[in-house]
Amino acid sequence: MTNEFLPFSKPTIDQATIDEVVSCLKSGWITTGPRVQKFASMLKEYLGAKHALPLLSGTAGLQLSLMSLNLKPEDEVIVPAFTFIASANTVVHAGAKPVFVDVDLATRNITAELIEPAITKKTRAIMPVHFAGLSVDLDPIYALAKKYNLRVIEDAAQAIGATYKNKKIGSFGDTQVFSFHPNKNMTTGEGGCVTTSDDELAHQVEILRFHGIDRTDAWNRFSKSGSQHYDVSVAGFKYNMMDIQAALGLHQLPKLDEFNQRRTQLACRYLEKLKNWPQFDLPEDPTHYAHVHIWHLFNPLLNLEQARMTRDIFLEKMKDKNIGIGFHYDAVHLFSYYQKTFGYEAGDFPNTENIASRIMSLPLFPTMTESIQDHVIDTMQTVFEEALMHA
Ligand SMILES: *Cc1c(COP(=O)(O)O)cnc(C)c1O
């Protein structure tokens, strides 16, 4: 084994991708233009979406989707307490109140049963998060949305290519937001996209992402065919994706299924090799609905007693042995801003707090070889054995 530090995640960038970025740079057009347009239509086709709108980031997508709902300060949006902070922050940015709910201990996902008691007269939307690339059980959540007249913004940042009941996330339902951050299953550097079946929401996101300029071909004003004038119908943002980013995406998307299959092979290998380890609780796939898990992350929970150390100490010990284990995530309701602003406290969401104190993300990326994976497993074994020896 080499002595190089092994990160928990690494993007796969081939020569064709690098060449495309270079062509883009040499073309004279590097911001939003023809490559973004092409990437948008490829996304639409791959996902089977009615609308697909590329953006600067997944976070921008969450914010603009929520802003398109015209939320008022007293309006509530239901968000899992166990998620990346952007899910909650963007509700605040959209001018509404995030209301947290707990997640299921085995799947780490939100469920309709956990959501329904949190619905009030002020609830306007639900934000299910497909954690680690495992689809949430969506049908019961869409049934709740129908019953209480709520919108659904799926945080699908980790779920591009995942399916629910044989349908791709993004091809059905209300609105979805994907991320192309370098750690995600495909990347555009930074980047994201909104998919939706709602024409009006798509139009709002389109306007909001580029200054509120009320025309879809604003970039055309730099070309021979465009006019120099435009109207501004709302004070918008600057969240457009660049052609340099889309150049990456044009070569990532065609390889996404291959990337996801390789992640799945490696995840299944982890599941098999770690299944009898008393130190870990492994992630469990739900059996009551068909789905394709894309294994954005592989996260066991540490059994603190069996491991004889805390999760953070385990991460430190692995880092000392040159292996990066990721950590996703702290409980959102316990960040000081959310405690201070909305009055949440420790004990509010037991499953989330339990998961957050024990979870870790083992190294997993498409170019990881079996021998590197075996090295990770052997090193974990060594760390546990050393702890036993010193006990
Ligand atoms: C990555 C991620 C985001 C944010 O996406 P960015 O593209 O980094 O802005 C939001 N929610 C979840 C669950 C994520 O994993």
291 and 221 in one domain?
no
Q: What is the 3-state secondary structure (H, E, C) of the chain?
A: CCCCCECCCCCCCCHHHHHHHHHHHHHCCCCCCHHHHHHHHHHHHHHCCCEEEEECCHHHHHHHHHHCCCCCCCCEEEEECCCCHHHHHHHHHCCCEEEEECCCCCCCCCCHHHHHHHCCCCEEEECCECHHHCCCCHHHHHHHHHHHCCEEEEECCCCCCCEECCEECCCCCCEEEEECCCCCCCCCCCCEEEEECCHHHHHHHHHHCECCECCCCHHHHHCCCCCCCCCECCCCCECCCCHHHHHHHHHHHHHHHHHHHHHHHHHHHHHHHHCCCCCEECCCCCCCCCEECCCCCCCCEECHHHHCCCHHHHHHHHHHCCECCECCCCCHHHCHHHHHHHCCCCCCCHHHHHHHHHECECCCCCCCCHHHHHHHHHHHHHHHHHHHHCC
Sign of CA dihedral 138, 144, 149, 151: negative
Q: Which of 203, 232, 255 is the last residue of a domain?
A: 255
Q: Which of 206, 237, 255 is the last residue of a domain?
A: 255
Q: Tell how far the Cα of 62 is from the centroid of ligand 1, in angstroms.
A: 9
Q: Tell how far the Cα of 87 is from the centroid of ligand 1, in angstroms.
A: 8
Task: Give the Å distances, CA to CA, from 19 to 22, 24, 186, 248.
Answer: 5, 9, 17, 10
Write the CATH number for 168: 3.40.640.10
What atom in ligand 1 is closest to the CA of residue 158? 15
270 and 161 in one domain?
no
Q: Which of 56, 63, 84 to mutate to test the pocket of ligand 1 (most atoms within 8 A of CB)?
A: 84
Contact in structure between 324 and 6 (CB atoms under 8 Å): yes
In terms of C-beta distances under 8 Å and separation of at least 24 residues, what long-range contacts does 87-90 make, across chains too?
87/62, 87/127, 87/129, 87/155, 87/332, 88/332, 88/338, 89/59, 90/59, 90/62, 90/63, 90/66
211 and 100 in one domain?
yes
Q: Which two tokens stand for residue 181?
A: 């951050």
Instruction: Specify if 7 maps to a domain.
Output: no
Domain total in the chain: 2
Instruction: Specify if 200 maps to a domain.
Output: yes
Pocket of ligand 1 (CB under 6 A): 57-59, 83-84, 86-87, 129, 155, 157-158, 179, 181, 192
State which residues form the domain around 100.
Answer: 15-255
Contact in structure between 231 and 214 (CB atoms under 8 Å): yes
Q: Which of 85, 135, 181 to mutate to test the pocket of ligand 1 (most atoms within 8 A of CB)?
A: 181
**What are the per-10-residue average pLDDT scores of the chain (391 residues)?**
85 97 97 97 98 98 98 98 98 98 97 98 98 98 98 98 98 98 98 98 96 71 71 94 98 98 98 98 95 98 96 98 97 98 98 98 98 98 94 73
188 and 65 in one domain?
yes
What radius of gyration, in Å, describes the C-alpha atoms of the chain? Answer: 22
Q: Tell how far the Cα of 306 is from the centroid of ligand 1, in angstroms.
A: 33
Residue 22: Cβ-neighbour burial (10 angstroms; 0-12, 13-18, 19+): exposed
Per the rule left: phi > 0, alpha: psi between -120 and 50, beta: everything else, 326 is beta
Q: Which of 255, 289, 305 is the last residue of a domain?
A: 255
Q: Which two tokens stand for residue 237?
A: 């943002």
Catalytic pick among 184, 273, 275, 321: 184
What atom in ligand 1 is closest to the CA of residue 57? 7
Contact in structure between 298 and 283 (CB atoms under 8 Å): yes
Query: Using CA atoms, how far apart are residues 363 and 267, in angstroms rounded to an integer?
Result: 10
pLDDT value for 36: 98
Q: Does the active-site annotation cover 184?
A: yes
pLDDT value for 217: 58
Does residue 148 have a cis bond before it (omega within 30 degrees)? Answer: no
195 and 176 in one domain?
yes
pLDDT value for 3: 74
Write the CATH number for 283: 3.90.1150.10
List the beta bridge partners of residue 77.
98, 125
Spatial CA neighbour of 198 closest among 165, 160, 151: 151
Instruction: Specify if 6 maps to a domain.
Output: no
Contact in structure between 192 and 157 (CB atoms under 8 Å): yes
pLDDT value for 328: 97
204 and 68 in one domain?
yes
226 and 266 in one domain?
no
264 and 203 in one domain?
no
290 and 224 in one domain?
no
- Closest-CA residue, ligand 1 atom 13, reads 84
Spatial CA neighbour of 145 closest among 114, 173, 107, 177: 173
